[in-house]
Amino acid sequence: MQVLLKKIKKNSIIFLLTNIWTAVFVQKVQKNGVKSMDTDIMANIEQCYPRMTKKQRQIAGYIKDNADMMTFITLKELSRELGVTEITILNACRVLGYNSFNEVKYEVRKYINMSRRIGLHQQNDYFNTDVPEYELNDKEQLLTEICREERELMEEYARNFDSRRLMDAAKLFWEYPKIILCGRGLSHIICRWMASDLAGAQIGSVLVDTELNESVYSALPVIGGDTLLVAVSFPDHYFMTEKLAGYGRKKGAKVLVITDTPEAEITRHADELLTVRSTTRLFLNTASAPMAMVNLLMSAVKIEGDMEKENIGKEFGTLF
């Protein structure tokens, strides 16, 4: 009986403490204006903004205006960027209803991913079009036309081929000890191809699929002044590839951008730029011309490596 009474007493205390904790949490949520866990962080900022101090509003404004950068920035970096203390930032996080700066970053990433997912669905409505019925009247003729368009892409690249630019880009792979290859979709496939060829030249590299958050964030700590960041971005020009290129540039990495046009947004982060058209009528991209360019780039890397080995051999030979 005594054991039973002790057990009942213990459970009553746990129940009481749970109710107290719940009441405090609800009071905190009501105070901070957070209606539910489903409220996105931008709506949350709008709700809390009138009750925030001047510095807290500065922090909230930065979060809203620089959401993409918030996914990368550290607490110390944000403190330095805004000229406020880390404690002030943490207090702002609490006013918004979050227990830590990492929770705020998580909510920003969740907001961005949801926004981009909606955008990608809208883009897919545009890109995934059926072949018009009149084109299907002569299927062999249609395929012949597509073949001609593929050939024209290759011929266009050959006409504009810049061997010096390609050789300059190839040298970077031997100059930097850390190499990161990043992209999404077709761009990631191109990165994998490059990684395989680089391994054949005895150059190690890190592959980053920019569609996967864990892949992106695992690469962030190693990006610095000794890094060559190769950002491959063909349509639909995925936003995270661009943001990673911008982050790399900010951290002092050398950024080589491979894309389809000099007008692509990612080119503003490029130290070196290689372009090749990838348009095709039935799909978002064709791999033919991009893969040809990558093959030439990797060939240039191999040529540079063999030249370097030959120079080292000659230098060593002078010692005898």
Mean pLDDT of 224-240: 94
Considering only the C-alpha atoms of the chain, give the largest distance between any 2 of them, rounded to a whole number of Å.
96
> Residue 230 corresponds to which amino acid?
V
Question: Do 158 and 283 belong together in one domain?
Answer: yes
- Let me know: does 290 contact 156? Beta carbons within 8 Å: no
Distance (Å, whole) CA 291 – CA 8 = 71
Mean pLDDT of 49-76: 88
Is residue 21 classed as helix, strand or coil in its secondary structure? Answer: helix
Distance (Å, whole) CA 181 – CA 205 = 7
The pLDDT tens digits for 108-126 are 878 876 765 555 445 555 4
Q: What is the CATH number of the domain that holds 217?
A: 3.40.50.10490
Q: Is residue 8 part of a domain?
A: no
Q: Which range is least confidently modeled, 121-125, 130-134, 235-239, 308-312?
A: 121-125
Confidence of residue 107 (pLDDT cuts 50, 70, 90): confident
Mean pLDDT of 231-253: 93
Q: Is residue 3 part of a domain?
A: no
Question: Do 165 and 63 belong together in one domain?
Answer: no
| pLDDT for res 36 | 43
Of 220, 244, 223, give the one whose Cα is nearest residue 232. 244
**Which domain range does residue 102 map to?**
14-112
Q: Is residue 45 part of a domain?
A: yes
Q: Give the sign of the dihedral formed by CA 119, CA 120, CA 122, CA 126.
A: positive
Distance (Å, whole) CA 47 – CA 96 = 9
Question: Do 285 and 149 belong together in one domain?
Answer: yes
Domain end marker among 77, 112, 147: 112
**C-alpha of 104 from chain center:** 19
Q: Which residue has the higher pLDDT, 162 or 34?
A: 162
Confidence of residue 309 (pLDDT cuts 50, 70, 90): low
Distance (Å, whole) CA 273 – CA 260 = 10
What's the pTM value of the predicted model, to 2 decimals? 0.69
The pLDDT tens digits for 201-218 are 999 999 999 998 889 989
Q: What is the CATH number of the domain that holds 54?
A: 1.10.10.10
The pLDDT tens digits for 245-289 are 999 999 999 999 999 999 999 999 999 999 999 988 888 889 999
Mean pLDDT of 172-184: 97
Question: Do 150 and 277 belong together in one domain?
Answer: yes
DSSP element (H, E) containing 301: helix 288-317
Q: Is residue 304 part of a domain?
A: yes
Q: Is residue 85 part of a domain?
A: yes
Q: What angle do CA 47, 54, 106 make, to 5 degrees?
A: 50
Distance (Å, whole) CA 140 – CA 96 = 61
Q: Which residues, at least 6 apart from 303, have a Cβ–Cβ distance to it below 8 Å?
A: 167, 170
Q: Is residue 59 part of a domain?
A: yes
Q: What tokens does 179 get?
A: 């190499």
Distance (Å, whole) CA 263 – CA 249 = 18
Other CB atoms within 10 A of residue 298 CB: 20
Question: Do 55 and 142 belong together in one domain?
Answer: no
Question: Do 58 and 163 belong together in one domain?
Answer: no
pLDDT above 50 (res 15): no
Confidence of residue 5 (pLDDT cuts 50, 70, 90): very low
| pLDDT for res 26 | 36
Question: Do 297 and 233 belong together in one domain?
Answer: yes
Is residue 206 classed as helix, strand or coil in its secondary structure? Answer: strand
Q: What is the average pLDDT value for the chain, to the nearest integer? A: 83
Q: State what percent of residues in the chain have pLDDT above 90.
A: 59
**C-alpha of 65 from chain center:** 18
- Specify the number of domains making up the chain: 2
Mean pLDDT of 100-107: 88
Is residue 60 classed as helix, strand or coil in its secondary structure? Answer: helix
Q: Is residue 291 part of a domain?
A: yes
Question: Do 149 and 270 belong together in one domain?
Answer: yes
> Residue 132 corresponds to which amino acid?
P
Question: Do 146 and 197 belong together in one domain?
Answer: yes
Domain end marker among 78, 95, 112: 112
Question: Do 93 and 160 belong together in one domain?
Answer: no
Q: Is residue 34 part of a domain?
A: yes
Which stretches of 49-177 are DSSP H helices?
54-65, 67-70, 75-82, 86-95, 101-127, 139-159, 163-175
Question: Do 262 and 196 belong together in one domain?
Answer: yes
- Let me know: does 171 contact 307? Beta carbons within 8 Å: no
pLDDT above 80 (res 294): yes
b/e code 46-67 from CB counts within 10 Å (16+ = b): eebbeebeebbbbbbebbeeeb
Question: Do 27 and 156 belong together in one domain?
Answer: no
